[in-house]
Every structure is written in C-alpha cells, then in structure tokens.
Amino acid sequence: MDATTIPQHLLTSNIAPLDAELTILLQAIADTEARLQVLHETAPERDALVARAEQYKAILSPVRRVPPELVCEVLAMVPCTRKIGSQTVDQPPWKLGHVCRSWRHWALGCPWLWCSFSIVHRKDDFREDFPLVMLETQILRAATVPLSIDFHWLKGDGLEGTFFWDLLLPLCHRWKSLCMKFPHLESAESLLDLLHSTKDHLSSLATVELMIRSEGDPEWQAVERDLFSTAPRLRELLLSDVCRVHYSPNMSAPWSQITRYRAVQEGPQILHMLQNSPNLVECSLGFDSLDELDATHHRIMVVVPHLRRLSVDSSIILAYITAPSLEHLSTDGRLSCALSFVQRSSCRLKSLAIGSVSDVDSLVPLLEACSSVEQLVLCGGTPVPTFLFDLNLCPNLTLLGFGLRCFPDTTWKESLFQMIETRYQTGRLRAARVYRVDARFTDTFLDEMRVAIENLANEGLDIEYLEDQNEFIDHFNEFSY
C-alpha cells in the first residue's frame, strides 16, 4: 500500500480521519516502515559500493600522472611549519612520507625539500625542540644542495646548544642564505665571534639578514665585523627589519656586488655604501642621524645607475643621490627634497609612497613631475587631496593607497570615496587599499566606511580595508613587484 491509496483530502488538509480510514492509514505506515527496514539492511552494501567506486575514481586522479619533480616543486613552494613557543618556523616535510609510498620516495629523493634550517633559540638547552638526530638526518637528506639558515635567538644570555652550529659550520661553503635575529648585543657578539672562522669559506652565500629585535640600543651600531667582505656571490645585505625600527650593525661587505641593501645607519655610512655600490637595485634606508652630514658631504652627489627601488625615512638624503633608473620611491612628507630628486634624476616612477604631509597642496608639483606614476600611496594620514579629482594629474593611476587618520571634520570620508569612485568610473583606477593610521575612529564611523567600501566593491573595484599599516605594506609590495 502506498500514498496513492490514502484519501487525498487527508494528505492536503488537517481533517481528522474517520474510523473506517484508520485501518488504511495504519497499514500504509506499516508498509512504509517495512520498506525502510529493507533499505537499512542494504545500507552496508551500498556504502561498500560507494567506497569501491571512490577507489576506482582515485585511480583516474590527475595527480597520479603529475611528474615527481613537479610534485616536489609544488611542495617546496608550500613549506611545512610548526610552533616553537610563540614563533612559527618552517620545518622539513617530516610527515610528508606518511601520505603514501610514492610521496615518501619522492620526498626522500628531493634534497630541495630539506635544505632550509629554521632554529629558534628560546631556552638554555634547546635539544628538546631540535633533537640532534633530527638535524643530522636533515643534513643527510639535503645531500649537496645549497642551504638556507634561519636562526632566531629569543632567550638566553650565552650561546648554549652550539651543537647546531657544530654541525653546520663545516658546511658553510654551501650556505646560500643566512638569517640571524637577536634580542640583545651580547647574544649577537657571541655568535658573530663563533662565525668568524667561516669568513673565507662562504663561496655560495648570496643573502645575509642580520638584525636585533629590541629597539633603542644604539650600541648595536658599535658592532663591527668583517665576515662577508670576501663572499664572492653575496648580493643581498639586510641589516634591519622591514619597518626599519632597529639599529643596524656596521658590517663590511663586497659593496660592488651588492644589489639589495636595508639598514638603519648614520648619514656618512649610507653615503659610503652608495658611493661603493654601483650595482645597487633595491635600497631601504633608515637614519639614526643625519646631523653628521657636514659641509664636506654637501659637495657629494652619488649616481646610482641601476637603482630601481628606494625607500628612505628622511628625504634629506635624496639631496645627495641621483637615480636615473628609479621606478619605485617611498619617502617622508618633506616634498621639496623629493621633487628636486625626481627632477634631477629624470626617472619615470611607477610607484610613489609618501608619508604624512601637512600641506597637502604641496603634493601637486611633485605629482606633476611624476606623471608616469601608476601606484600612489599616501601613508601617514594625509588629508584627502581633492585635486586628485583632476584626472590630468597622475593620469595613469591604477592603484591608490590611503592611510586614514582621525580628523575633527569627518566630511573628508565622503570626499575620499567620491574621489576613488570618480577615478574608477572615468579613469584607469582598478584597485584601492585603505588602512587605519590611528585607532580613534568610532564604531559607527568604521561601519559607515565599510559600507562605502562594500558599495565600491560591488561596482567591480578591487578595494579593501586593512586594519594596520604593516598589512598594507605587504599588499603594496605585492602590487609594486
């Protein structure tokens, strides 16, 4: 018996069944439950068939036909990580071999998956985090490929646990990159002393990153070492973090080879580096002091012919530089120095990032001189420049970044988004990034701003609101490259 034998009016209304209809209903319920029971009994067979079908389909999976070398390349681009205290570090693919036999075979046969050593020194004896046998095994699996060493010293006054360096120092001729970060001066000096024996054996070293994490320790600049001046392949020397808030050591280097440099130093040191680095392509400079640039230095003009990217904390240093090939410039809000620099260099900038500007109208001459700019970032909470409604100014603009600061008059918010919309609808603007410079905005204001951003996004503009400046810097760097 099925539902078709049930009187239709009972199925389509709330009318109670008559006594004569109860027998029909009870029989229908019993028949339906009996059929359900039969289906339940066949469920295991159904599940087994489904599982078998999935196994058959897996045989046809495209990943089975991907060449092993391509699989290893993909895996190398997505490194494994683990937490050591609060630090997230890369680690070799120890668990990759658990996936299947072929993946284990590929992983063990691909030394590039094992060539990065990330060590976090967070206690007196860190064998618990990095057992000796683990490091020895990784070295064996890395075979003969170049090595990347990433050493973060979080805690401890002395260089305990030197077994790590005892294993790696004999392999210094294979070091491709060396990154070392320290919490204080003493920890840095003890390790740099240990590394002195490697000076004339760094034949593969291309990148050095060396910095102190704690702020405000000017003695860090007193650290002078000649460890890398004979490294024949050294190209990148990074002596500060990205935000340039830490002091830099004074390191000797083969300056004529250096193509990328980042540091926080005094003016004369910076000029010395620029004068001796004709192949510099990217440079990020912070300044502890420019006071020592005296009358003698004012007669200096350094031409850096291959420089493409330049970021400076103080535009004063631009008075000493000419960079005819420059494409990306980031500087503070003292625009007269930047304007003279751009005019003197006759460079065609693609991106321009500027700090806080008190007189927003002073931006006009600089932007007129940078008509080729495609990416403009106003970093420091500058009032909305209404002249950007003029599409003849920066006519090639495709990306606009803007740092929001809490001004008493909030009408600038409407002006900002109107300007962005105008640029998008009638110009070439295709992306915008808005981030918050300070935290004084009300929730209501932020909600209204997010609505405005959502409306522009619905129109097709690639626009995002970012919570902090560091996140914005990451996005801007992605666009700039």
**Is 356 contained in some domain?**
no
Nearby residues of 26 by Cβ (< 8 Å), 6 or more positions away: none
The dihedrals phi and psi of 27, each to the nearest 5 degrees, come to: -65, -40
Instruction: Answer yes or no: do 49 and 171 share one domain.
Output: no
Of 230, 253, 276, at which residue does a domain stop? 253
Instruction: Answer yes or no: do 17 and 149 share one domain.
Output: no
Instruction: Answer yes or no: do 228 and 80 share one domain.
Output: yes
Q: Residue 407 pLDDT more than 80?
A: no
d(CA 92, CA 134): 10
| pLDDT confidence band for 273 (50 / 70 / 90) | very high
Instruction: Answer yes or no: do 95 and 44 share one domain.
Output: no
**Is 82 contained in some domain?**
yes
Query: Does residue 115 contact residue 79 with C-beta atoms inside 8 Å?
Result: no
**Is 409 contained in some domain?**
yes
Q: What is the average per-residue pLDDT within 366-395?
A: 84
Q: Residue 175 pLDDT more than 70?
A: yes
Nearby residues of 269 by Cβ (< 8 Å), 6 or more positions away: 250, 263
Q: What is the average per-residue pLDDT within 241-261?
A: 82
Q: One-letter amino acid identity for 280?
A: L
Instruction: Answer yes or no: do 219 and 171 share one domain.
Output: yes
**Nearest one of 240, 296, 292 to 267, comparing CA atoms:** 292
Instruction: Answer yes or no: do 98 and 17 share one domain.
Output: no
Instruction: Answer yes or no: do 9 and 79 share one domain.
Output: no
In terms of phi and psi (left: phi > 0; alpha: psi -120 to 50; beta: otherwise), the region of 196 is: alpha
Q: One-letter amino acid identity for 404?
A: L
The dihedrals phi and psi of 88, each to the nearest 5 degrees, come to: -100, 125
The verdict on pTM exceeding 0.85 is no
Q: Residue 480 pLDDT more than 50?
A: no
Instruction: Answer yes or no: do 46 and 76 share one domain.
Output: no
Of 231, 253, 275, at which residue does a domain stop? 253
| Of residues 118 and 458, more confidently modeled | 458
Q: What is the average per-residue pLDDT within 82-86?
A: 64
**Is 355 contained in some domain?**
no
Query: Does residue 254 contact residue 231 with C-beta atoms inside 8 Å?
Result: yes
d(CA 54, CA 56): 5
Place of tokens 């409604």: 389
Residue 164: count of CB within 10 angstroms of its CB:
19
Of 60, 80, 99, at which residue does a domain stop? 60
Q: What is the pLDDT of residues 8-33, one digit of tens each?
A: 877 788 888 888 888 888 888 888 88
**Is 271 contained in some domain?**
no
Domain limits for position 8: 3-60
Instruction: Answer yes or no: do 109 and 230 share one domain.
Output: yes
Q: What is the average per-residue pLDDT within 373-402?
A: 84
User: What stretches of 300-381 show up as alpha helix (H) in DSSP?
Assistant: 335-345, 363-369
**Is 363 contained in some domain?**
no
Q: What is the pLDDT of residues 320-374, one digit of tens each?
A: 999 999 999 999 888 888 999 999 999 999 999 988 776 777 888 999 999 999 9
Q: Residue 295 pLDDT more than 80?
A: no
Choice among 35-49, 77-91, 235-249 with the minimum mean pLDDT: 77-91
Q: What is the average per-residue pLDDT within 378-386?
A: 70
Instruction: Answer yes or no: do 47 and 77 share one domain.
Output: no
Instruction: Answer yes or no: do 400 and 477 share one domain.
Output: yes
**Is 303 contained in some domain?**
no
Please state the domain count of the chain. 3
Q: Residue 408 pLDDT more than 70?
A: no
**Is 299 contained in some domain?**
no
Q: What is the pLDDT of residues 96-149, one digit of tens each?
A: 778 788 888 888 888 988 998 888 776 655 555 667 888 899 999 999 999 999
Instruction: Answer yes or no: do 142 and 232 share one domain.
Output: yes
